[in-house]
Structure 1
Amino acid sequence: MDAAEFYTGIVVDAYAKLKSSSFDPAPYADFVTAAGEPALEIGCGDGEPMLSLRQAGLDVEGVDSSEDMLTRCQANAAALGLQVTLHHQRMEALSLPRRYRSIYLAGPTFNLLPDDDTAQQALRSIRDHLTPDGQALIPLWIPEPTPPSELGVQRQAIDDEGATLTYTPLSETYDELHRTRTTTVRYERHTPAGPAESADRDWVIHWQTQSTARTLCDQTGLRVTAIEDESGHPAAPDADYFILRLSHP
């Protein structure tokens, strides 16, 4: 395994194993049922909540930028006896043969886009893949700075091969002007059979406020039909987590 393969694999494992919460499929199933099929889940990862929606009989395809995650997703689908259609593409450069009545991101994956230009490209891709009556659902998150007490603190998980994965935030830059949090992270993989593998990388989170999100949507030809909280009520103006509902003008 070369350095690039190691880094890709350990980031995939860290994301899959160390994420702080799992996705409740119900809100996404409700969205697809109301907005219509077919549906597209952007950032489908290893399959949640998409596979739960497929189990419910909904016509949902998945797209992700990580080939490793898609391999996991295919294996998880096979274990459940499900047929899935998966695409290996980045959300800002979608070129799919189908248009969808509902497109959604499960969780604030949109925050992984590094800047507003890339976010605009992603919104254009979503617009271009919606049917004329289609709707999109995009959760967004405004992160707080990582507490200084958490810098240097390791988090661990065990991967499918029994190796120990270690994730350690080393330092961080929190830029409110550019709405960017850049955390330097050390990923390590320890196995009994050999020396530890290690890689240091910057993890960039770029956020939108409700105001900047509206502006980006206006600039890309999408209409914001609602900005909601997790309960489906109008989000408070200062909410640090909110959900955009979008459509064609």
Structure 2
Amino acid sequence: MSLGAYGTLCTEVYDLTKPVGQSIGGDLEYYKERLRSCRGRILEAMCGSGRLLIPLAEAGLAVDGIDESPQMLASCQGRCEERGLTPRLFQGKLQELSLSCLYEAIIVPAGSFLLIEDREESVDVLRRFHDHLMPGGRLILDLEMPDLQSLKTGSTGMSTFPHPDGTVITMESRTVEADLYRQVVVTHLRYEKWRQGSLVASELQRLALRWFGIEEFRMLLENTGFSKVTVSADYEYGRAPSHHRQIFTYEANRN
């Protein structure tokens, strides 16, 4: 069992629910359009098992990926090999990001930036992103606000994920902390894998999500050295956010 990481069972659920090329709310189409003009390299931070990285690479973009989870990267690598793709994949924490090249764009889709629980570490990662961009390079990332239900400590949920091999993975979730002052929600997840009525594997995960106010994050980007910051709602570039249930996509340039 693992705690605080995207382990084997979590990766299996991710692969079942987020197959390669699946667009969530229009994010794949949005990122393809915003990156269409890129001629240099692109880095997808927290690339997971390649849901977006692979179709972006198939569209002819030079995409690298980095993720902390070796299980996620192994899945991404396998999916790339099946398609004859050879992107550069790196395993490591964004808090320690130190790669050898500068990028024309760095992207963090699907709200994954929220997984950085500590605020100061979030700021440090933004600085590292800034330093890994070439002059004029762009950072594009998604943020979202927590669902109001998730702010109720003790809230629970149960999901079931059948696997093509006949096994079933169940996932039980429980909100254990909702700290409005720190802007963090912590959920405990328990994964169990069953085969013909017998438990064959289990895994625990501590999932912490930090959220930011819309203008708060704009100021963080500007204080980190980014300019030309725009915020778009629900994958419609230039559409101003109007309520907390929307996805907010930030785009900012390194000078």
TM-score (norm 1): 0.87
Instruction: State the Cα distance separating 1:245 from its structure 2 match.
Output: 0.7
Q: Which digits, 9 at most, give the CA deviation of each residue in 1:170-192, with x for residues without a partner?
A: 33432222111112222212223
Residue 224 of structure 1 contacts residue 244 of structure 1 at CA under 8 Å; is this kept in 2? Answer: no
Task: After TM superposition, give the deviation of residue 145 of structure 1 in Å.
Answer: 3.2
Taking structure 1 as reference, are residues 87 and 237 closer, same or farther at Cα in structure 2, changes over 3 Å only?
A: same
Q: Which residue of 2 aligns with 1:153?
A: 157
> Structure 1 vs Structure 2: percent identity of aligned residues?
24
Cα-to-partner distance string for 1:3-53 (whole Å, 9 max, x where unaligned) = 349972122223333469744422212222235421111111111211111
Residues 224 and 140 of structure 1, relative CA distance in 2, 3 Å threshold: farther
1:233 aligns with 2:232: no
Residue matched to 1:202: 206
- What is the Cα deviation at residue 156 of structure 1? 1.1
Change (3 A) 1:35 1:189: same
- Number of the residue aligned with 1:248: 254
Letter in structure 1 aligned against 2:252 = L
Which residue identity lines up with residue 128 of structure 1 in the other structure?
D
Match of 2:215 among 202, 206, 211: 211
For 1:112 and 1:7, the matched residues in 2 are separated by 11
1:56 aligns with 2:59: yes
For the Cα contact (< 8 Å) 1:99–1:130, is it kept in 2? yes
| Aligned counterparts of 1:222 and 1:159: Cα–Cα separation in 2 | 44
Give matches, 1:101-116, under 5 Å.
101-116=104-119
Equivalent residue for 2:124, pick from 121, 126, 130: 121
* Residue 10 (structure 1) aligns with: 9
Gapped regions of structure 2 (runs ≥ 5): none
- 1:85 corresponds to which residue? 88
Contact 1:39 1:101 in 2 (8 A): yes
1:78-128: CA deviation from partner (whole Å, max 9, x where unpaired): 111222211112222211111111111121100111021111111011101
Amino acid aligned to 2:58: Q
Tell me the amino acid that sits aligned with residue 130 of structure 1. L
The alignment status of 1:132 with 2:116, answered yes or no, reads: no
Matching of residues 7-86 of structure 1 within 5 Å: 8-18=7-17, 22-23=23-24, 24-86=27-89
5+ residue gaps in structure 1? none
Q: Is this contact kept in 2: 1:169–1:185, CA < 8 A?
A: yes
Q: Count the aligned residue pairs.
A: 246
SS class of match (1:154): strand
Give the Cα–Cα distance (whole angstroms) in 1 for the partners of residues 157 and 248 of structure 2. Answer: 29
Return structure 1 stretches of 4+ with deviation > 6 angstroms: none
Instruction: Name the CA distance, whole Å, in 1 between partners of 2:174 and 2:17.
Output: 16
1:141-180 pair list within 5 angstroms: 141-146=144-149, 151-159=155-163, 162-180=166-184
Moved more, 213-222 or 187-196: 187-196
* Secondary structure class of the residue paired with 1:153: strand
Q: Is the 2:218–2:229 Cα contact (8 Å) retained in structure 1?
A: no
CA distance in structure 1 between the aligned counterparts of 2:96 and 2:105, rounded to whole angstroms: 18
> Secondary structure of 2:16's match?
helix
Query: Could you tell me which residue of structure 2 aligns to residue 221 of structure 1?
Result: 225
1:34 is paired with a residue whose SS is coil
